[in-house]
Amino acid sequence: MSIRIRQAGMSDSITLARLSAQLGYPVSVQDLAGNMRIILCDSEQQLWVAELNGRVEGWLHAGIRFTLESAPFAEIIGLVVDENHRGKGLGKTLTATALHWARARGVEKLRLRTNTIRKEAHQFYEKLGFTQTKEQKVYDFIFEDHPL
């Protein structure tokens, strides 16, 4: 079993869209590719893929966050490993890559957010050394639902 982490490329878009659906976020390849173009050109963001025996089986998207009230921090924006390949070290290796990148950027922490119902994800992150610091509710204002 050989794990390789590398920067994502546009040729990965079909696989990344498939994996995004497993995470609970179905997206068209066209929309994902448009987002990837922006992410890959942004020096404050990184998008890595994990290959297992030469096949992409996971991805991690991270970015540096700047806010008025706190020091800059890194954040795992998204992480998914194919459901058939979980528990093989792909997520751990992707997360280690993000931790190394965040440290090199000089930020004080790497944050992530995960849905309260994802108990297996919580255990995974805690096992890696992450500490839960809060729970929150997320509200969206959908413009389509509120025409002017």
Domains of the chain by range and CATH?
Answer: 3-145 (3.40.630.30)
Q: What Cα–Cα distance (Å) separates residue 97 from each residue in 90, 94, 103, 141? A: 11, 5, 10, 34
* Digitized pLDDT (tens) for each residue of the chain, 148 residues in all: 799 999 999 999 999 999 999 999 999 999 999 999 999 999 999 999 999 999 999 999 999 999 999 999 999 999 999 999 999 999 999 999 999 999 999 999 999 999 999 999 999 999 999 999 999 999 999 999 998 8
- Look at residue 5 in the predicted model and tell me its pLDDT: 99
**pLDDT score recorded for residue 148:** 81
Q: Output the DSSP codes for 24-76.
A: T----HHHHHHHHHHHHT-TTEEEEEEEETTEEEEEEEEEEE--SSS--EEEE
**Phi and psi torsions of 144, nearest 5°:** -60, -30
